[in-house]
Chain A
Amino acid sequence: MAKASDLAIDVKGLTKSFDGRVVVRDLSMQVKRGSIYGFLGPNGSGKTTTIRLLCGLLTPDSGEGTCLGYDIRTQAGEIKNHVGYMTQRFSLYQDLSVRENLEFVARIYGLDAPVRSARGMIERLGLQGREEQLAAQLSGGWKQRLALGACTLPSPQLLLLDEPTAGVDPKARREFWNEIHALANEGLTVLVSTHYMDEAERCHEIAYIAYGELLTHGTVEQVVDQSRLVTYNVSGEDLHTLLQQLDGKSGIDMVAPFGASLHVSGRDEKKLEAAIKPYRGDRRFVWTRSEPSLEDVFIELMNRSKDNFQ
Chain B
Amino acid sequence: MSLLDKIRSPGFWRRVRAMLVKEFIQLRRDRVSFAMIVMIPVMQLVLFGYAINTTPRNLPTAVLLQETSDVGRTILAAIERTGYFRITHRLTSTEEFDRVLASGQVLFAIEIPAGFERALRRGERPALLVAADATDPVASGTALGALNRVAQLALINERMLPDQSEPLFEFRQHARYNPAGVSSLNIVPGLVGTILTMTMLIFTALSVTREVERGTLESLLSMPISPLEIMIGKIIPYIIVGFVQASLIIGFGVLLFGVPILGSLLLLALLSTLFIATNLSIGYSFSTVAENQLQAIQMTFMFFLPNLLLSGFMFPFAGMPAWARWIGEALPLTHYLRIVRSIMLKGASFSDLQYDVFVLFVLMLVAMTIAVTRFRRTLD
Contact = CB atoms under 8 A, between A and B. Distances in A.
B293 to A, nearest CB: 15
Interface stretch (B15-23, B89-97, B243-251, B342-350): B15-23
A109 B22 CA distance: 14
Interface string B197-227: 0000000000000000011111101111100
A170 interface: no
A107 B378 contact: no
Contacts of B380: 58-59
A95 B29 contact: yes
A117 to B, nearest CB: 13
Nearest to A83: B222
Given A56-B378, A80-B223, A108 B18 contact: yes
**Chain B interface: which size bin?**
20 to 34
B26 interface: yes
A100 B18 CA distance: 10
Nearest to B11: A110
B32 interface: no
A176 interface: no
A9 to B, nearest CB: 15
B30 interface: yes
B379 interface: yes
A144 interface: no
A222 interface: no
B14 interface: yes
Contacts of A80: 222-224
A105 B223 contact: yes
B22 A104 contact: yes
Contact of B30 (A56, A81, A95): A95
Interface string A88-104: 01111111100010011
Contact of A91 (B11, B22, B218, B378): B218
Given A59-B378, A100-B25, A107-B15, A81 B224 contact: yes
Contacts of B224: 77, 80-81, 108-109
Interface in A64-87: 76-77, 80-81, 83, 85, 87
B215 A107 contact: no
Given A91-B218, A96-B22, A107 B223 contact: no
Interface string B1-34: 0000000001100110111011001100110000
Nearest to A82: B224
Interface in B222-277: 222-225
A52 B379 CA distance: 8
A93 B215 contact: no
A55 interface: yes
Interface string B343-380: 00000000000000000000000000000000001111
Contacts of A113: none
Contacts of B30: 95
A182 interface: no
A62 B26 CA distance: 40
B210 to A, nearest CB: 10
B216 A91 contact: yes
B26 A108 contact: no
Given A87-B219, A91-B219, A57 B225 contact: no
Contacts of A85: 219, 222
B200 to A, nearest CB: 21
B219 A107 contact: no
Contacts of A52: 379
23 contacts: A57-B378, A76-B377, A77-B224, A85-B222, A87-B218, A87-B219, A87-B222, A90-B215, A91-B214, A91-B215, A91-B216, A91-B217, A91-B219, A93-B26, A95-B25, A95-B26, A96-B25, A96-B26, A100-B25, A104-B18, A107-B17, A108-B19, A109-B223
Given A91-B219, A95-B26, A107-B21, 16 more contacts: A56-B378, A57-B379, A58-B378, A76-B377, A76-B378, A85-B222, A87-B222, A89-B215, A91-B216, A92-B216, A94-B214, A96-B25, A96-B26, A100-B22, A110-B10, A110-B15
